[in-house]
Structure 1
């Protein structure tokens, strides 16, 4: 992903938030047969405060990716959506004002993963299930009937757990930061409305980025 200093995302807290809110990721590896990609849920390692993630793949994806033997690229995709130039209004002029674009938040985490032991993998599997089941009216954990320990053990044998502490991170938050406040407000309003391209999640992310930008500017003006 080509980086642009205006849109670079480097704050670890913001990157952790991105992973936490978007656990369904794409895993990409370079193999002797070419590029391979898989899709799995991951989570931040609860024992760490950095960008270390844990997850699992189903067999034989571990062999296909050469998991633990070569570099793995994990793509985390946050909110994204189309931005129409008709939303720029009279506050923008010139050729660039007529160019549509796509706003997005995304991160690429790269590194060689560590394979988990059986016990570690079981804990990760249980934590992943608990995370999403906890929202249900009657949560069903990994160990709840009919998922007795023997059945869960058989499930674990069909997976390979991993832990990845990225050695390279490229993240980008392109949310119209290069536009005026008036234009940003218009875009947020259009995304929030029931129009041609409704996208309340992206609108909320833009609003959050705008508020942070305004707060930083105010802080810089008052040393």
Structure 2
């Protein structure tokens, strides 16, 4: 099965489990879901491409995969996030590794069976964590506002990031126990990053503070 080089939610992409490399939908399918793409009350597809590390053990879509140790590594040459430099527009920002190798991002995976056809569909999700303390990653995404439209102070934001896993910890992530896995959910050090605007014409100096 082929996959696109730049993936979006619900695209088919590769992920690595303790059993080997698999291809599946980026966006985990709830084990008992009636259809491959569930929708909210307004008819919009549910977004399950990310699992918050703080709630993945209890959310219906992710808890079985976490409980059963179905962790995976998601290879990525880079990933993109929106930088909101003046709080009114975004510039897409791309993150590579400084050493040029691919990121391996922490994830969960499962399989879902279509009751109508018997088709078994693998799917996966990327784990995210709070990154308010990261000098680079906290600059990404639109600032959150209160009900009156006022931008919340930094200590009340909840900026999120994916979770890179170091090569030395790949085996532990895939086969260790839950406590081992939780210990690996950490913010990546700045030394790992090579980053720039996706569009060179929109390149700016980020206000990074150590």
Which bracket does the TM-score occupy, shorter chain normalised?
A: under 0.3
When normalised by structure 1's length, the TM-score is: 0.24
Query: Which structure's residues are more often helix, by fraction?
Result: 1
Greater radius of gyration (CA) = 1
When normalised by structure 2's length, the TM-score is: 0.25
